[in-house]
Structure 1
Amino acid sequence: MNHTVQIYDATLRDGMQGEGMSLTAHEKVRVAHKLDDLGVDLIEAGFPASNPKELELFDLLGQETFDHAQIVAFGMTRRRGVAAAQDENLQVLARCFAGVCTLVGKTWDLHLEKVVKVGREENLAMIQESVAYLVEAGKRVIYDAEHFFDAWRSDSAYALDCLRAAAAGGAERVVLCDTNGSSLPHQVGSAVAEVVSVLEGVPVGIHCHNDLECGVANTLAAVLNGATQVQGTMNGIGERTGNANLVSIIGNLQFKLGIDALPGERIIRLTETAHFVDELLNQVPNATQPFVGRNAFAHKGGLHVAGVRADASTFEHMEPELVGNERQLIVSELAGRHTVAEKARSAGIEMDDAAAQRAIDNVKELEARGYQFEAADGSFELLLHKQVGDYEPLFTLESWRTIVEQNAQGHVECTATIKIWVEGERYVRSAEGNGPVNALDAALRSVIAEFHPHLRDIELTDYKVRLLDQHHGTGATTRVLVQSSDGQRSWGTIGVAQNVIAASWEALVASFEYAELPRQAQPAADDGSPAGRPA
């Protein structure tokens, strides 16, 4: 098999329904660019006006340029008893910048009776008229048939009628959703095969959840039986037990089924992208995740290590470098960071072999202390500049101090004092803030913005803290990840220390230093990926 399957990522919408999953609008934009760099075809951003964060996200996305991916707006079919042209939700979709809209509608008779309380004919009209309205508005429309496989087992004839209604309205594709994650691969495969046969000429997609630990297997079964679009989320995040893991789906399509999943050689970015999303969500990447986990190609002692040294295929199903991962021979503590040279090139940094090796050694040392650079692109670029010798600090620190005081009424006051040297002059500044980090930020800006006015425009858009050795409780080492933006681009910086304020200070200073790095347009990558933007 060598036909292309369309990759549809639902991380920013469906993935965010998982417990504890939350990203700011600016962070979602960063994820969208990462997915675009990976070569994902369609990125489902959510419903443009479901809440203020989504409204902000679509405003931001409308100003962005993507090299490969198309942004998808998501919504539902019209309400019962309301004409499509009068439905406010459909009007929002029609007006939004996204050229592709995905509509979800009911398919299962249980939901018609118990949830939306509409008759079968009215439901069919809701589907067809909603799709037709958006098509008339100039949108490409994908129709998601919710609970399709439950509906198929209950009444396959009516389930097909729902798909036909969407196709009659002008949907370019119908997607069969295993919304409850209740199906097994043989059930999905046989249903998809029959739908593809009956709906000749109408492209079919698949959307699975992982309640039976079959999300990836069900997706592959659908593809083997004629589905030409797969929907999923990065690392399988999502409601309940999660969605089908798009990382594993892409790896299996490309390397096990011989199906083109991503353009060019972009699949080498799979590990980097998967870890980036985890780190941005403040999650520890799953070390045992197939294809991209730290232990996915790890071997410990004995015959396995000997076998891999002789011929890696003895204990590995593929070369880890193909997905941007690396082999770990744990017994001999071998490690490496083959992405250093590529990162330097994309940042416009010329590195010789000696500098690259110093950077690799530095990364190993820092990772042993708790640093992770997947979502801290700003800190990583600063590290590279330090290795080539062209790093210049914004100032020299003498000391900083924070005071947090709470009175009997519960009011908290925070004050920070910094003592720094800039261009041979000593500056002592104090500032108040709504927290110690905010106060440090204000004090630092009051000095360095005089020398670097651009820093007045820097906004800290998010702040995350993770305990690295939780058994030490409040005395644990902490990792702080700061997200920053200047209105045009966003970046992440990191700090690690036993004291959370010290870690925050490190990340804060790195954010400002990265903002002042000279920016230059970089030559386009050979595979057509975008240039001139932080990775």
Structure 2
Amino acid sequence: MIRLVDSSLRDGMHSVRHSFSPEQVALVAAGLDRAGVDAIEVSHGDGVGGSSIQYGKAAFSDEALIEAAASVVQRAQIAALLLPGIGTLTRLQAAQRLGASVARVATHCTEADIAEQHIGWAAEHGMRAIGFLMMSHMIEPAELAVQARLMESYGASVVYIVDSAGAMVPRTAAERVRALRDGLDGATEVGFHAHNNLGCGVGNALAAADAGATWLDGSLRGLGAGAGNAQLEVLAAALERSGHATGVELFPLMDVAEDVVASLMERPQIIDRTALSLGYAGVYSSFLLHAERAAAKFGVEPRAVLMELGRRRIVGGQEDMIIDAAAQLAADSHPAPTGSSGSA
């Protein structure tokens, strides 16, 4: 059985500038619950506590949004994402009090050790603790498995491969799932979170399922950072056709995508040259809007900014470097005039 997790109300926040209201969250969550989705992730796009000048100010608090979602679901679990250094245990405790029963603790793929406190607390206090290894394309499968074992040792019952940049293809996604499946205890499940910047979101999730992943993320209409996430309603249909049971009712899922989420989107989730550049450069998907704004400010091309960020191997949490890269590109294209070379 594949468990489907919806990220429309967390990753999708990046696409709407973190503006969803409690009423909108409740409407989407109720529809997902009716369709039988296992878990619904709710928070700022960068997790609980992410509302800030650096990551983007949210229109409403994480707590208000989590409470709104929890108030309307009958079957689905509410999940909260936390990035150590952005979110705190206090925020996670508040999320649990308001109805979140799943804690997804996310770190860069080489920094699992910073999640020990948060995963441990969640596991000890009755939440399902899930480890999230972001930007998983940046290290080899064997190295990723080492990091996954750390999260498992802290109490994670599921460890995710997170293709934050949408840089993977089905082969590389499957290789990483197999490495975790072989390296973790048999009772620990493997998850996969796909972005669609190379157009491989659903294909990567299917490859992950075939390789042994039992938790898969998606979002309605693909709503998410960059070119969006694996489109949940499409993924559900493709999994069914591939012989993977999900327990999700497809038509109600399609209806909430079409009748509710489509009207909330600021723009369609498409793979334009900027989004494609994210995946090609291996850059964090949530950098898209930040890069577009920085490029406009300094009069450079967003694609050039993203390629420079990829060259520098900039990762989530280093959003300030987007401005630096754009400014440097502008300076390089318009060098300051040199002084006179004549002798005195």
Same fold (TM over 0.5): yes
Match of 2:66 among 58, 63, 87: 58
Contact 1:24–1:53 (8 Å) recurs in 2: no
Q: Tell me the SS of whatever aligns to 1:182.
A: coil
Match of 2:252 among 269, 273, 284: 269
Contact 1:48–1:58 (8 Å) recurs in 2: no
| Residue 20 of structure 1, CA deviation | 6.1
Which runs of 5 or more residues in structure 1 are unaligned?
109-122, 287-535
Please give the alpha-carbon distance, in whole angstroms, between the structure 1 residues aligned to 2:35 and 2:42.
16
Contact 1:160–1:195 (8 Å) recurs in 2: yes
Residue type at the aligned position of 1:234: L
Residue type at the aligned position of 1:97: G
2:331 maps to none
1:492 maps to none
Q: How do residues 159-178 of structure 1 correspond to structure 2 at under 5 angstroms? A: 159-178=144-163
Please give the alpha-carbon distance, in whole angstroms, between the structure 2 residues aligned to 1:18 and 1:132.
31
- State the Cα RMSD in Å: 2.5
Query: Is 1:67–2:50 an aligned residue pair?
Result: no
Match of 2:36 among 32, 36, 39: 39
| Residue 94 of structure 1, CA deviation | 5.3
Q: How do residues 131-146 of structure 1 correspond to structure 2 at under 5 angstroms? A: 131-146=119-134
Aligned residues: 257
Please give the alpha-carbon distance, in whole angstroms, between the structure 2 residues aligned to 1:159 and 1:234.
29
Residue type at the aligned position of 1:12: L
Q: How do residues 216-235 of structure 1 correspond to structure 2 at under 5 angstroms? A: 216-235=202-221
- Which structure's residues are more often helix, by fraction? 2
Contact 1:14–1:239 (8 Å) recurs in 2: yes
| Residue 200 of structure 1, CA deviation | 3.6
Which runs of 5 or more residues in structure 2 are unaligned?
52-57, 270-344
- Which structure's residues are more often strand, by fraction? 1
Please give the alpha-carbon distance, in whole angstroms, between the structure 2 residues aligned to 1:150 and 1:282.
30
| Residue 242 of structure 1, CA deviation | 1.1
Q: How do residues 64-463 of structure 1 correspond to structure 2 at under 5 angstroms? A: 64-77=71-84, 87-93=89-95, 95-108=97-110, 123-152=111-140, 156-201=141-186, 202-254=188-240, 256-263=241-248, 266-281=249-264
Residue type at the aligned position of 1:138: G
| Residue 29 of structure 1, CA deviation | 0.6
- 124 and 271 in structure 1: CA distance in 2 versus 1, 3 angstrom threshold: closer
Please give the alpha-carbon distance, in whole angstroms, between the structure 1 residues aligned to 2:182 and 2:265.
44
Please give the alpha-carbon distance, in whole angstroms, between the structure 2 residues aligned to 1:73 and 1:6.
16
Contact 2:32–2:253 (8 Å) recurs in 1: no
Contact 2:219–2:231 (8 Å) recurs in 1: yes
TM-score of the pair, normalised by structure 2: 0.68
TM-score of the pair, normalised by structure 1: 0.45
Contact 1:39–1:68 (8 Å) recurs in 2: yes
Q: Tell me the SS of whatever aligns to 2:42.
A: strand
Please give the alpha-carbon distance, in whole angstroms, between the structure 2 residues aligned to 1:66 and 1:259.
25
| Residue 95 of structure 1, CA deviation | 4.5
Determine which structure has greater relative contact order: mean sequence separation of CA pairs < 8 Å that are 6+ residues apart, divided by chain length: 2
- 124 and 19 in structure 1: CA distance in 2 versus 1, 3 angstrom threshold: closer
Contact 1:6–1:229 (8 Å) recurs in 2: yes
| Residue 175 of structure 1, CA deviation | 0.7
Residue type at the aligned position of 2:68: L
Contact 1:94–1:134 (8 Å) recurs in 2: no
Please give the alpha-carbon distance, in whole angstroms, between the structure 1 residues aligned to 2:18 and 2:91.
25
1:381 maps to none
- 150 and 48 in structure 1: CA distance in 2 versus 1, 3 angstrom threshold: closer
Please give the alpha-carbon distance, in whole angstroms, between the structure 1 residues aligned to 2:93 and 2:35.
32
Please give the alpha-carbon distance, in whole angstroms, between the structure 1 residues aligned to 2:143 and 2:267.
44
Please give the alpha-carbon distance, in whole angstroms, between the structure 2 residues aligned to 1:93 and 1:78.
17
Q: Tell me the SS of whatever aligns to 1:99.
A: strand
| Residue 71 of structure 1, CA deviation | 0.8
Q: Tell me the SS of whatever aligns to 1:188.
A: helix
- 189 and 125 in structure 1: CA distance in 2 versus 1, 3 angstrom threshold: closer
| Residue 89 of structure 1, CA deviation | 4.1
Contact 1:278–1:284 (8 Å) recurs in 2: no
Please give the alpha-carbon distance, in whole angstroms, between the structure 2 residues aligned to 1:95 and 1:163.
28
Match of 1:5 among 2, 7, 27: 2
Q: Tell me the SS of whatever aligns to 2:61.
A: helix
- 53 and 196 in structure 1: CA distance in 2 versus 1, 3 angstrom threshold: same
| Residue 105 of structure 1, CA deviation | 1.1
Residue type at the aligned position of 1:5: I
Q: Percent identity?
A: 28
Contact 1:232–1:245 (8 Å) recurs in 2: yes
| Residue 227 of structure 1, CA deviation | 0.5
Contact 1:25–1:53 (8 Å) recurs in 2: no
Contact 2:136–2:144 (8 Å) recurs in 1: yes
Residue type at the aligned position of 1:71: I
